Structure 1
Amino acid sequence: MQNIRTEPNTGKRFLAGFIDYLLIYTFTLVFIFAFGEPNADGEYSVTGLLAFIPMIFWGIMTVGLEMGIGATVGNSLVGLKAIPKSGINRNLTFGESFKRHLVDPIDMFFFGLVGIITINNTDLNQRVGDLWAGTIVVRNKNLTE
């Protein structure tokens, strides 16, 4: 394992998650109102193959960006990057990134309390998704090629 310094960075990580999911939820709501059909209660819903579009968008905005450019939009804006626990400065694989983000709802439960508790109480400042995926989050300035 390379000597990479991890820090809780809870404020930056909270902001990054907020930015990422604000983009994802905004897209989803606009998409549902644009392509959805109103039901008997006046609520909009999307059915059939169109229902997969928000899920695909989620995958691109989280897993796709981490694999392709090394960070989500939120992490890029706040100067953070998720890397393997080994400390090697590389983009995450599909499996690593998918595992990290699949449990985002757990980490974000009760306004991020679960994530904050695990980040502040694990040796490498990992949230539940990082523990499962074997990843850490570091500041870009702490990385070396």
Structure 2
Amino acid sequence: MAIDRTDPTKVLGRRLLHLVIDGLLVGTAALLLGAAVLLALTVGLAHWIDFGAAFVVGMVFCLAVALLGPLVNEVWIPHKSRAGASLGMRITGIRVIMLDGSKPPLKAFALRYVLMVVDGMLWGLVGIVVILRTPRRQRVGDLVAGTVVVRTGSVDEPVLPGPDGDLGAVPQPKLSLDAPQM
């Protein structure tokens, strides 16, 4: 059940949807946490701090969450989870793996995150064109990190492309050759 190579929009659609979902989740979290801090400072410290100072502290907190939220969601959560996926990737049924099918190290997730700047150039057009033009449907961050985004059959098992060239990766064998065959 690998992604159909003849229709690259299936890959692109899932990847774009995951970015929208992640943006909404992180943005909502930043807004709610900033509002909670603002409310706590305004109500709890009403006699120590004026509303203007509480507002500034709440906005700084909101900005910190908005800047650190994507980093946590795109690097830390996929690295620490078994799924190798951000929250939006889990919802859309995709995950990041290394070209050999293994789980990416923290360095790979960090490279993908940093190179989102390149992929996001011209309102994301650079990333879209690179995804559509590469045989494995990789963006610049994936090319540099040596990763590929694949569909998942479940959270635990990626649907690896077949050896027929679908997405360009080859699945790992189910049984190792040095193990006794039954």
Q: TM-score range by the shorter chain?
A: 0.7 to 0.9
Change (3 A) 1:105 1:29: farther
Corresponding residue number in structure 2 for 1:66: 78
Task: Give distance in 2, aligned partners of 1:34 and 1:103.
Answer: 32
Task: Give distance in 2, aligned partners of 1:53 and 1:77.
Answer: 22
Task: Say whether residues 1:35 and 2:37 are aligned partners.
Answer: yes
Task: Say whether residues 1:20 and 2:25 are aligned partners.
Answer: no
What is the CA distance between 1:55 and its match in structure 2? 4.4
User: Secondary structure at 1:45's aligned position in 2?
Assistant: helix
% identical equivalent positions: 30
Match of 1:75 among 72, 82, 89: 89
Task: Give distance in 2, aligned partners of 1:76 and 1:117.
Answer: 24
Higher relative contact order (CA 8 A, sep 6+): 1
Q: Is the 8 A contact 1:6 1:137 kept in 2?
A: no
Whose strand proportion is higher, 1 or 2? 1
> Please, what TM-score do these two structures have when normalized by structure 2?
0.61
> Please, what TM-score do these two structures have when normalized by structure 1?
0.74
What is the CA distance between 1:117 and its match in structure 2? 0.6
Whose helix proportion is higher, 1 or 2? 1
User: Secondary structure at 1:123's aligned position in 2?
Assistant: coil
Q: How many residues align?
A: 134
Root-mean-square deviation (CA), in Å? 2.8
Task: Say whether residues 1:120 and 2:132 are aligned partners.
Answer: yes
Task: Give distance in 1, aligned partners of 2:143 and 2:4.
Answer: 14
| Dislocated runs of 4+, deviation >6 Å | none
